[in-house]
Every structure is written in C-alpha cells, then in structure tokens.
Structure 1
C-alpha cells in the first residue's frame, strides 16, 4: 500500500516526537471518518453483575417500601464519559501548555461543607483526567503494523519500543484509536454493508489488554516492547493485514467514573454522617475491653502493634448504632510491621464471639498490595472464607498463580463474582479500592443489603397478616450490617476520591443499625498517589489518611500532625498523633509504629532523623557488627575507589555499617529526542558505568542478581543502566524508578541520583520529578535496602539540597564516602 520511499519515512517517524512527523501522516488523525469499527470487547463484569442483580433482587417479591430497588438499579450513579470528549479536548492542548495557563483549585481541607467538598474533588478529578489525556498524546505512533495471532484471532500485537516504561504507564482497559493510512473497501468484506463510496476512511477502536516488556530471543535478537490489544472479527482480519496505522492512546476513565460515582453517593447520605466520617471532631469514648488470651495470633507483636489490635477489638466489642466513628489510623515507616498488624487485627476480629457475625472488606490502592494481603491471609483462611475479587477485564496472565484458588472464573476464563450464597458466606473479601465499586453495582453494599432485609421482613409480615396468623418473636438480623469492618492498607497511596469508593460500600447512614468500623494504614511520609497535573497535585496527592492527621482539633493543638511550614515541610517534626482534645484521646484513634524489623540498625539513622523525628528504633540489638558476607562485599566495593573522604576518620569510621556513598561528577544527557514518552527523561552515563562496575563486583563476591535492586531518578537512566547490565549478562538485576519500589524491598539497593546540572533542578521541582527537594521520594529511596545501601551521585549538587546535605555529613563523619569529593 505504500511506496518504498514513504515506508522509510514512516519507520523514522515512529521514533520521533510529533513535531518531526511528516504533515501528511499527522493529517490522517484529523480527517473525518466514514465508519468506526469496534473490536471485540474483553470479558465484562457488568453483564455478570446484571444477571446477579436480576436473580437476587429483581426477582424478589414486589417491595412494599419506597426504595423501589426492584426497578432502580444501584449503578444509576455511574457517570459515563463518552469517547467524543477526547476529541473535544484536543484543541485545548495548546492552551493548557501555554505559560499563561494557571488554573486555581481549592483543596479538600479548605472545603466549606459537603457540597463544596464534592465540587472541589469533582474539579480536581476533571483536571487530572484532562491532563492524562493530553500526556497520552505523547504515545502516538505513526506507521505501525498490527500482527494477529491465528490461535487467538480476537487479539493483536503492536510493537512500540519503550512503551512498557512509558509514564503515565499504559494500563489494561486504555483505549486505542487506529486509523489506516488509506481508505479501505469495507463493502467487499462485510455482507449487507452499504456505503456511498468505494473506499471508506475508517477508525478502529480497540482496548489495551496489557503491555509486554521487550527481551532478547535465543538468537540474541532484540524484541521490542509490545502492546497486546483487542482486535476485529476474523472476517475483517485479512482486510487490514497489509495496512500501516496511526495509533493514538486514550487513558481508561473507569477509576475516574467510579470516583465520580462515590462523590455522588456522598451527596446522598446524611450530612452529619458525612461530616463525622471526613472531618471528625469527637473521639470515641469506650469502656475497657479484655480480649481472649487463647488466640494464637499476635503473640510476637510489640507494644504499639498490640495497642492497635486492642483498639480494633475494643471498637468491635462495643459497636456503634447511631453514627460512624472516626477512622482508626495505623502509621509508621517501612519495615515496622503495619501489614502484619492489620493481618493480626483481621484474624483476631474473626475469632471474636458476639451477636453479629464479622465480615471484613480489605482494600488497597494497587493489585500488588492486595495480592500480598491475600497471600498472607490465605495461610490462615480457606477459599470458602477468603475471596480475592478482580475486575473481569484483568488478564489472568497478570494474576499470581497462588491467587487463583481464592477467585471465581467464568467459562471464558475471565473473572466473575461468586454465587450469592457463596458471597454472603465469605468472611474476608480483598480487592482494590477502585474494584470495590463492583459491590455497589451488584447491589452488595451494606445499605442495599439492609434495605433488602427490611423489605423481606415487611413482605413476611404482610403475608402473615393476610393469612390471619400471628407471629411470635421477631425476625433476626435486621439490624446487622454485612461488612462489619473496612481495612485499607497503603491508604497514603490512594487519592481521597479513590478512598471514598470502598467507603460508599460499607457506610450505611440508617439509624439503629450497626455501623462499620474503619481502619486506615499507611505512611504519609512516603510516596503519594501518582498525579500528573501540576495544578491538581496539591489537592489529590494528599490522601485522606494524611488529611485526617492534619485536621484541626477542638480545644487542642491547631493541627493533629501540625500544618506544613517552610521549616517543617521536609521533616514534619510534629508527632503523628490523631487525637482531639487531650493527650490520651488517641487511645481509640491512632497508633504510630516506631520499631523497625528490617535490616541493619545503621540503615535507620538517616531516615529516622530526616523524616521520623528521630523516633525509629531497630529490633536488632547491636549496631557495630555485620554478617561476614556483607562485610566482605563492602570491602571489595570500597577498594574500587582510590579516594576515601575524609581520610582522617579512622576514629569514627564504622566499617561494619552497610552504607556506601560513591561520588561521581557526571553529565546530564537529555534523551527527549530519542524517546516518545515525554521530555523529562535524563540519563547520566558516568553514574551508569559506575553502577555497572559495582554490580559486577558484588556478583563476583557471590551476591545473587535477584537480590539486587537498582533505582534511578529518571526513566532514561533506568533504560541506560538496564542496557548496560544486559550487555554484560546481568539482565536478572531489577532496575526501576523510585516509584517502582514502593512497598518493595531488596537485600541490596543501588541508587542513582542522575542529576548533575544544578540549573535543571528548578525544572525538576516544578514537574515533581527527580530526587532533589522531593522528601517523600527520597524517603522511599533510603528505606528499601535490607542489607546494603549504595548511593551514587554528584556531591557538589547534593550538598545544596537539605536532605542530601545531611546524608553527605553522615557519610563523611562515619567514613562511608568514597569517590569524588567536593573541595
């Protein structure tokens, strides 16, 4: 279909930014199309939900209440965003990128009432959604071919170099718009198809199934990153085999829609319930409770971990009937056992005896964190007690094999909901915050289940009266709540609207019903949710957990965690206490864990001082010893450098501390022209070469490649280090950005700061990238190592940053500084 000369232009254009693409290729995306072809949709949970709803609700006897839930489906609050909105946004891209574009948004903490709160979050979500749509334009491809799989005709593959590492990352469910370069004769392939033209301009609308990272095959040939997408019916496949396509990506708005639905729900509940849930001012006053000592769970918890478990059990033993209590908060740095404490709280709660059966909903922002919790709960609960819920569209290949026993799959292999009797029998259900919306769609929220119980009771009573019978006793279970507890782990990594989704499932504002107990766990000093709009970042990156800790208190301090100021915004020196009036009011509100179980005690010194007001302590008793293996590795790494700074610290040098700083005076290299995923990619070849030598040294000393993790500040540096390692048969070493290591640990962490040019730092700060003046990202980088931490950077630039300056002083004083020095 193309001439040799045009094909050469196409191949070149696919690697360049849009401004270098030939005009005729770009114009293809602007031509009006005659026909839109939709690919075959992947499995959809909604069809299954409708069947369940019709069998469990619509087929019930006619309701005698005013709810009309037989006729009004619960997903009426879903806000659908048409794909045409994407085209309407296109002309605004130039306006949004102009220097004069400076929109202003309020934050949730500034809300004046519930309506203002909902409007603020609606505006922030809209801004973030529009920004992601525009950023996805950077992924546009020109002149790609589509490869189909004969074994799976409804799937296709497109090779796009670097797409697996794109930021924002391409997600399953994202939309793809494919336009052939030339009109196609549809009438020749579709029976009954009528057209006024012999050839039609066509747009194919597909959906991303997943992305696959490229690799080298057995012949040593490099295979590019690939996008696997849904594809057309088999009879149309031959028509498009010889075509080249322009491809555009549109981010999935499923999470956005679910957040809007949660905000709509919030507008419908009683204002007093909404206020106490989001802006609590009263601590719960509860009698003492002594839990059973027969439990085998939690015997090895420390004092503060036990205090949180006690808080959960006390609240459970004395349930609230009138109002939803303020959420319990468990916070602490990585390695202090937050997830373990939640796990024990869940298991101990299930063991409690009482009038009401305990059922728990556990949510996390990510599938990875949800899988971790399921794996650990699965050691104690059977598949009849524990259910891991996935959205139907999630590819089975992306789910760990050990999770499948706790799921339900349909005949086509996609994930489904269990039968109603099985669902109601589960004691613990685990899912992401976003996927919790499925319970609302299926009519399985606490409010809807309570309404159905009451309607059934009304129906039974009316039938008895019609039969002229008299009922003795009462119908049991009317005041019960299905989900008695909601636990959200990694809550600091969820946006506030995202956290509202599971809250909309469990919160029932009806008086005289048992109210759900809510617990949030996370670390507000580590990475916040990924927000791409600089204008929406302040409002959406503050999680509900962090905002609760900063709430003004009545009659007490001005803020619970203290307002951020110019002197405390990096260290937040105020204690993390979630209390209201007196020092002991946080007895039933929050626990801050300070005992770390991870790694060598010396690895805690810098993070504790910089981020946790010097409160962290290690469970390991001694600090001046290390394992022989790691001491040997340290000596070999130190011997690589001819310079140790300073050379007169023999009286303070700590030879057993597994911390090493390697000074490298490198040069920044922008790779914006070489990559399509944005202009913020930088690499530093000198640091990459130094890291390669360090990794080679460690491997020679017997360190497993799987135990080594390498972090870099920029995606281009990740790719550069990855290429260097693979060229030396070290491809098993995991390399990623700091964000990729949230909730992940490695025995060895090697960190590349990358940036060496001071003039680019203000740009990094404005874009919230890099590792300078980014306290939460630095905190994550310094707390991922279990046995050995190695930092590679430019000391001349590091000394001008408050956090890295403190790190340099630490390394200088204790003899951990090697390589280049700052005179």
Structure 2
C-alpha cells in the first residue's frame, strides 16, 4: 500500500501510507509537498542525496473557495468560482457521504493543484441548495445494458505490450484499463510555429460490458490543442466492440518540446489519459547532445598531444622573426623579468592524462595549492595561478593550428582566413604570433608572423619583408602562440607591490588613524564643507555662516547622499594608505562617483596626480569622455593611454583621439629618445615618462598601466589610484596600478561589487580557489577591518565608514525588476530611484503582455519567463552549446518588438555560450534583420538596455551535474545570474527550461516570481521544487 511521487531527481519516491502522516486523500496528478529526513552535509540539504524517510505528505497548495455547481455526472462534476473551474469526483469527496452536489448549488470547497484537472476538489460543503429540483434519475430501460457498478479496485492495468508509448513514467493514469483502449498518433513534429495538423483519437471498448464516457478534460491553459468534435462534455455509451472518435487540431505555438494532455473520465470512476508530444523547430543538424565532460576531456587530450608533438618538432628549428606592433627600444629604465613557466609544472599539467593526477600533485609540495592565502605564500600561490593560466593558454591555442593553409595578400599584410576567429576563446589579439613552416621540408626555418589586426574571419599578419616578397601562394603548416608580455607584467607586479607597500598593506589587520587629508564634512543639506579645524567640524550645524569659501561645490548636482558620503570619506582619508572600498551594486552610479571623486581631487588637492584604472577599454573610454565633458580638465591635463593593439584595430573613438596617446618605454636619458608624433585626428604617439608626468589625470586599463612600470618617474609622483569595477580584476591586475605608488604618499580607492562577475580565468585548476577572487572581494570577505558589524556601525549599514561606503540608490531598473535581484542578492538594501512605472514603461509592459500572451490583468510587472523545453547541442569540434528552439523563440519576440517600433539599441540579448550567440545571429541574418547586441554575461557587465532577453540554453537534465560544476556553468553561478537579470531597465524576459533551471534555488525563486505574478508562459511546468526542507512533486 504505497504512493509513488515523482520529484526532480532521477528516481521517484515510494512512500508507504502507514509510515507517513497524510493530510488528505491524494490522487494521480496531485502536486504535493513531502517533509523528509534526508542525508545532509555540514551546511545544507543535498537535493541529490538519499531520502531516508518521508514523514508528511500534504498538498503543495490548498485552495479554499466558493462557487456554483455547473455540471454533475454519475462520477463527478464541476464548480465554477470567480477565478476558475474546479473539478470533483463523487467517490473522492471528503464529505462522509452526507452531501452529493447538484447543479445550481452554492458551495464552499477546498481544492488541490492537479496535473490533469488543473484544480481538484477534495472537500465540498453545501452553503445554499439550488432552487430548482433535479429531474428524477430513472434506472435504464430493459433494452439498455446495465452500467458498470462502481468497482472496488478501479485500476487494472493491461499487459506491458499493450501500454501506450507516450505515457510518462511513474503513473498508471496512461494505462488502458477495463477493456478500454485509446489509440492514436500522439507524436507531432513541426518545422516552425503557427503550423497546424489534425489528429484523430479512437476509443475502443474491447470488454464484454458497456462503458460510459463521462467527459474529456483538456488542459485549461493550452493554446496548441483544440477539440473539433465532439464536445468535451458529451457523454457517450460504448457497447462491446464499439468505438468513439475524437478529432483534435494541434497548432504549434511553442518552440522546442511541449506536451498537451487529455484525460477521459469513465463511469465507474476510472480515468485514462493521453499526451500529444509536440516538437517544433528542432531539426537534425549533425550535432549531438553528448556528455560535455567526456567531450572536453577528449578534446583537451588531443590538444595536449598536439602540444607535445609541436614542442618536440620546434626544439630543432630556428625561426625568422616578424614585424612587431612597435619597435622595442634598446634601453628601458626598469626591465621586466621573463618569468618562464617552470618546466616541472608545465610537464605536470600538459603531460598528465587525467585531472585527478594534476589536482593531487598541485595539492602536495612544492605547490601546496590548496593552502589558504597568507603573507607567507602570497607570491607563490599567485605566481602559480598565473603559470597555470598560461599553460592552459598553450593547450587551448592548439585549436587554431592548421596543417595546410595559404595566405591571402591584403594591403601590406598577409591574411590568414579563419571563420569566427574574432569570437573564439581563448581570444586571439594583436601581438600574438603565427609560425609558418614549409610542408615540403621538415628542416627549413620557420617564419614568425605578428598579428596586427583581428577581423571577423581572418587575422592580418606581418612577416619578415623577405617572406612577403617571395610568397607565391604556397601552402604552409601554421601554429599559434600568444604574446607573453601581459603575463610578465602581472608577475612583475606580484614581486613589486609586496616590497613597496608591504604585506601589512595586502593583509590589513591594524588601524593607524591619520589626521584627515581634507577636513570635509556633509552638512544637513548634503553640502560639502571644508573646515579649518577640529572645532569647526564639531561645531558645524549646517548653517551657511559668513565664510562662503568653506563650501566646496559638487560638479554633478544629481549625486545622491550615499555617493556624497563616499566622496567625503575618501577625501578625508583617515586610514590611508589602506584601500578605500566603494561597494556599488548594479545601476548605483559607481562610474559617476569615480568621475566626481577625480574632479574633486584635482580641484581641491593641488599636489594630486591621479591614476584612473579600469578592467576594460570600453570603461576607460567612458571615463575619458565624461572627464572631457566636465570642462574642468583640458587636453594636456589628462591623458588616456592606449595600447598599440587599440591603434591597429582602429578601436579608438574619433572624438576621444585628442585625449589619447601611446607610450614609449625608451629611457628618456638615452640618446635614442624619440619625439612625440601627432596623428591627423590629434592622437599622440610614443609619449614618454616626462610627458605623461605633466598630466594631472592618467586613464587606462589595469593591464595597459603595466607599461608604466618600465618608466622612470620622480619619487611619489602619483598620489591617488582609483580602480573602477575592481571586482572584475585579478588581484595581480589590481597590483599593476598599485605598483605606481608607495606607502608615504598614496591613496587607493576600489570601486566594485563582489556580488557581480569576478575575474576571468579559464584554467580549471584555479577554480574555487582563493587566487580566483579579486582583491576587492578578498578584503571584504577575509579582513576584519572591512567586515560588516551592525552593532558598531548601525548608521552605515554595518560598514566602518573609514574603510567602506555602500551605494544604495538604483538608477537603472523599474521597481518590479529591481526587487528581484535586490532581495535575492542584496538583502533588500537597494532603494529605487524610480518609485513608479513611467508612461513609456507601462506602454512597453503592455506590449510584452500582448506579445507573450500572459494572463496578468495589469501590465505593471517587468519579469517574464518563457518556458522552452528544447534540446541543447554541441558541434563535434566545439565545446560550446546552442539551443535552436530557444534561439527561434528569441527571434520571434524581437521581430514583434521591432514591429511595435522598438529599435536595436533598446534590446540586449544575453546568452552564456558563443555557439548560441552565433545561432541567434544566423537566424537574424536569414530573416534579413539587423540584430541587437548579442553577447555573453561578461560582454554586458556594466551595460543596460530597456529590454533584456536572456537565453539560458541548457536543457538536458541528464547533464545537470556537469552544468553546475562546469567551467562556463550558468545554472548555479549566482554572480552570473545577478549580472544577467540586473541589466534590464523596464522588461526582462528569460527563455529557458524550467525543469532544468528549477533545480537550482536561485532560478526556482525567479520562476516562482513569474508564476506568482502570472507572467510565466510556455511549456508545461514541472512539479514544485524543493522548498525549506520539503520535496515537491506530483503523484
């Protein structure tokens, strides 16, 4: 006497009735919640662990209500309430036989959710009897066969060979029984949406007794299935060997896989169901849904073998060098070491066949890579992490090697055609190298080509002049190598900063209070006031006073209180030189704060020389543009340093060219010192240290500042370092701009959000280790000086204002979207700048409601979830994934938005996989539409759009465990989820498989929000998932 419950694991749970407390009488299809005793680890319940005991079974949702009985049959009927119809079966009502519903009765009921009936009543209580009398029920006439009496055991399955193939596992609702067979073609395939087909389902009575079809129940929310004939309420007697036919029209409205279930109720209280399995837009394409761990392992083993063979062949060869992006000077002020990868570490990683061997050796001496980070192992662990990343680059670069290629002359370059090279990972950038060797001679010298430009489908190379002059279309074997310049700078910074700033700076434990650098405070009107003495600070009451010079103006009049507090705290600098952290969640104005801070330093600290660093070129250009627009700084007072690769790629915005310059690392004391060159657009080339030093503000990326480590500056030249989006920087990247200052004169400000994406490293051997977090996150999570203490600092939300300020006002999202990531990731600390939806927001949300056909009455909620049960696939030569059903859904939504007047710049499409990006772009090309920006989460960090569409791609529950652990794992990465959903200003549409995503608590919360607000559409939802120590499922 057991109950079988399907849950979101591989196997259903069998529950013995007499060993669990059951609060109602469960039936097939009921959604229930199980309270379980489960195997646990040290911190949380493991959903994939073993259920030891089920103690309670109760409905997932108990729905009380009132309504009117509108249908009564021999076996049951329906109640119409204000919001919906509720089904009941006479034999299953918990009324102790005291009341049988009649048409027109006013009743009170309790119902549960059911997969087949929608909502099923378990109790019905009469409130007011119908005014009319029901007609007398007469027994059948003698010429009519007797109806079957209620059966004591209503379910008697047919033999295995007669069962229907479309039956879901774990329930016998789909079993033919009592001699009734339901026959039809239930698998339906469409190539596109809005296609239709008819299907006929035949019900045959193969018993020797009469049966009665009481009613057909159709899915209440379906838009794909329509009964043409007969009517669903039609009651039909089936005599022995007779048949009844039902004709359906099926119209594809959803890409991917979906299921529409019909349930026939028969006299005697038994039911039989069939499901139409609909598959739309998923054609065979030679790709596979393989196990990714096996695919990645096989691919990497192949690359390792190629690397070993390459190293062996190259050890005997010499090469003729190519032409570099810029000439290397003979004399530099400070040389950077080579930092070659240790041979034993390279052989361990590149020569081992399994990860287990590598992980075991890395944990043991001399690497000790599992040890916690300390002052003693700081340099060792970070150097090792950089070496591991470099080895991974060597291995992964083998994907670009080719056995036989030809070059194509293009202007002064030789082009090597490579489809999709600009989007490939690892990235190929200017400065990387291609070595060409003759296929007809193994002993010939190699020719080194330097990559100068990377285009969509080719790289442009400069070899030695002789090679260009003699090349006549011959075929060459090529292999790629990446430039090590940036890696060497990271190693150099790791060796430099511990000496100049000291380990006590990197691991702060003690506070050494200083007198304020500037005696500034905020008065009651949020004005910044400069005080001449401590007494002035203590006595400041917010009055204007007579001295107008005491007030310092804000350059941005729209700053909020928290931004002003952050700037005042930095200007005071009471714990300098320790880093000051400005913790800025999405849309809180971090970049505006950094710009205002820069302007205040320039205006009020005459001796300041400010370094402004960012992790990306786009962020550095944005800050340059805002500083230029301020009017406070003129050309010559600030400079944006750019790399030669930016020049070669022509990535510099023309309007910013007069503020940009490249750097010459040649020592200015040497005779070979070069003159500055000014291009036609005003950009300066070959700027030397003496020229850079004249600027009050120097802006660049963290990595590009590495060039300045080789220059000679006067002692204490740079006074302030501001790093925007510091949470995205490797610690070694952060150390590069920090290497330009010292303890005696130097203040550092880190702006960022530890809840958003951190540094990008592709070596899986650094995954989940301390070396993979940013310096900002490490300080916030490990240093007691930066820790939250709400008892000591209640007025600043637990943070010591001498060390950290949290920005709280969100300028980006409408309240309904903000509430999602605010409550999930920021403990509700964020405040909306926009308290209500604007007219434009309401218009957009109304259009989204109509496009998606959601059921919400008022279009005022911005989160939508479109369930697509598609298939994720991989091409044989790629580790990336794509999902054609999701891609088609995205295209269809964007097409409708375009028809409503929205433009490319209004929409952003985010997806975690490069192959999905290409798939979506291909569909836009086929449709002859200009595509909006399509990119990964990393591509969109720091950006926003009015409409964000997120395609999650993964759809195979069998591969879920790899998804969670995988290097590009999207399902369970909270930081990636946070960034993805916080890009939207007014509308956020998530396209994904709820059965897969619902297994992760964060995604389940998002799905629940869409469900609770009636903004979920798409494929049939799975049973409710695990919540608070209980397993949700359906019987």
TM range (shorter): 0.7 to 0.9
Alignment of 1:669-680 (within 5 A): 669-671=873-875, 673-675=876-878, 679=879
- In structure 1, what is the equivalent of residue 753 of structure 2? 523
- In structure 2, what is the equivalent of residue 133 of structure 1? 394
Q: CA deviation at 1:245?
A: 2.4
In 2, the alpha carbon distance for the partners of 1:330 and 1:583 equals 13
- In structure 1, what is the equivalent of residue 718 of structure 2? 483
CA separation of 1:86/1:713 partners in 2, compared to 1, >3 Å: closer, same or farther?
farther
1:429 aligns with 2:633: no
- In structure 2, what is the equivalent of residue 43 of structure 1? 326
Q: CA deviation at 1:803?
A: 0.7
Measured against aligned partners, the alpha-carbon deviations of 1:652-682 in whole angstroms (never above 9, x if no partner) come to: x5522232211111111112x144xxx2x11
- In structure 1, what is the equivalent of residue 477 of structure 2? 246
Measured against aligned partners, the alpha-carbon deviations of 1:129-173 in whole angstroms (never above 9, x if no partner) come to: 111211222222232221123x42xx2211111221111222222
1:169 aligns with 2:373: no
- In structure 1, what is the equivalent of residue 350 of structure 2? 93
Unaligned runs of 5+ in 1: 1-15, 54-72, 184-198, 214-224, 451-480, 562-573
In 2, the alpha carbon distance for the partners of 1:117 and 1:578 equals 31
CA separation of 1:229/1:786 partners in 2, compared to 1, >3 Å: closer, same or farther?
farther
Could you tell me whether the CA contact under 8 Å between 1:370 and 1:432 is conserved in 2?
yes
In 2, the alpha carbon distance for the partners of 1:35 and 1:243 equals 20
In 1, the alpha carbon distance for the partners of 2:907 and 2:1015 equals 20
SS at match of 1:787: strand
1:268 aligns with 2:488: no
In 1, the alpha carbon distance for the partners of 2:473 and 2:581 equals 58
Q: What RMSD, in angstroms, separates the aligned Cα atoms of the two structures?
A: 3.3
- In structure 2, what is the equivalent of residue 404 of structure 1? 657
Measured against aligned partners, the alpha-carbon deviations of 1:685-704 in whole angstroms (never above 9, x if no partner) come to: 11111111111111111110
In 2, the alpha carbon distance for the partners of 1:265 and 1:684 equals 47
Alignment of 1:785-796 (within 5 A): 785-796=984-995
SS at match of 1:379: helix
Q: Which of 115, 123, 132 pairs up with 2:384?
A: 123
- In structure 1, what is the equivalent of residue 230 of structure 2? none
Alignment of 1:175-574 (within 5 A): 175-183=433-441, 200-213=443-456, 225-233=457-465, 235-269=466-500, 273-282=502-511, 284=513, 286=515, 288-289=519-520, 290-291=529-530, 292-315=550-573, 325-352=577-604, 356-380=606-630, 381-396=633-648, 397-408=650-661, 411=677, 416-418=685-687, 422-444=691-713, 449-450=714-715, 481-507=716-742, 509=743, 513=744, 515-537=745-767, 538-553=769-784, 560=787
Number of residues paired by the alignment? Answer: 669
1:80 aligns with 2:373: no
Q: CA deviation at 1:497?
A: 1.1
In 2, the alpha carbon distance for the partners of 1:697 and 1:804 equals 27
- In structure 2, what is the equivalent of residue 571 of structure 1? none
Unaligned runs of 5+ in 2: 1-297, 521-528, 531-549, 663-675, 1023-1035
Alignment of 1:695-714 (within 5 A): 695-714=894-913
CA separation of 1:313/1:81 partners in 2, compared to 1, >3 Å: closer, same or farther?
closer
SS at match of 1:363: strand
- In structure 2, what is the equivalent of residue 735 of structure 1? 934
Measured against aligned partners, the alpha-carbon deviations of 1:405-435 in whole angstroms (never above 9, x if no partner) come to: 1123655969644355543321100011122
Worse-matched range after superposition: 247-256 or 810-819: 247-256
Measured against aligned partners, the alpha-carbon deviations of 1:328-373 in whole angstroms (never above 9, x if no partner) come to: 10112121001101111111111115xx522101111221211111
In 2, the alpha carbon distance for the partners of 1:516 and 1:25 equals 45
In 1, the alpha carbon distance for the partners of 2:323 and 2:703 equals 24
- In structure 2, what is the equivalent of residue 759 of structure 1? 958
Could you tell me whether the CA contact under 8 Å between 1:170 and 1:211 is conserved in 2?
yes
Alignment of 1:633-672 (within 5 A): 633-639=847-853, 644=854, 654-671=858-875
Q: CA deviation at 1:262?
A: 1.1
**Structure possessing the higher relative contact order (Cα contacts under 8 Å, 6 or more residues apart):** 1
In 1, the alpha carbon distance for the partners of 2:564 and 2:371 equals 31
Q: CA deviation at 1:230?
A: 2.5
In 2, the alpha carbon distance for the partners of 1:109 and 1:17 equals 30
- In structure 2, what is the equivalent of residue 471 of structure 1? none
Could you tell me whether the CA contact under 8 Å between 1:668 and 1:754 is conserved in 2?
yes
Using the size of structure 2 for normalisation, the TM-score is 0.60
Could you tell me whether the CA contact under 8 Å between 2:381 and 2:771 is conserved in 1?
no
CA separation of 1:332/1:27 partners in 2, compared to 1, >3 Å: closer, same or farther?
closer
Alignment of 1:804-819 (within 5 A): 804-819=1003-1018
Q: CA deviation at 1:239?
A: 3.2
In 2, the alpha carbon distance for the partners of 1:657 and 1:580 equals 33
In 1, the alpha carbon distance for the partners of 2:307 and 2:388 equals 30
Q: Which of 978, 1001, 1022 pairs up with 1:779?
A: 978
Could you tell me whether the CA contact under 8 Å between 1:705 and 1:733 is conserved in 2?
yes
Q: CA deviation at 1:180?
A: 2.6
Measured against aligned partners, the alpha-carbon deviations of 1:485-510 in whole angstroms (never above 9, x if no partner) come to: 11000100111111111111112x4x
Measured against aligned partners, the alpha-carbon deviations of 1:95-140 in whole angstroms (never above 9, x if no partner) come to: 1654432123667993332x42111211111112111211222222
Structure number, greater radius of gyration: 2
In 2, the alpha carbon distance for the partners of 1:398 and 1:612 equals 36
SS at match of 2:578: coil
In 2, the alpha carbon distance for the partners of 1:517 and 1:20 equals 49
- In structure 2, what is the equivalent of residue 6 of structure 1? none
- In structure 1, what is the equivalent of residue 409 of structure 2? 148
- In structure 1, what is the equivalent of residue 76 of structure 2? none
CA separation of 1:24/1:253 partners in 2, compared to 1, >3 Å: closer, same or farther?
closer
Could you tell me whether the CA contact under 8 Å between 1:305 and 1:341 is conserved in 2?
yes
CA separation of 1:400/1:552 partners in 2, compared to 1, >3 Å: closer, same or farther?
same
Q: CA deviation at 1:229?
A: 2.4
Could you tell me whether the CA contact under 8 Å between 1:277 and 1:327 is conserved in 2?
no
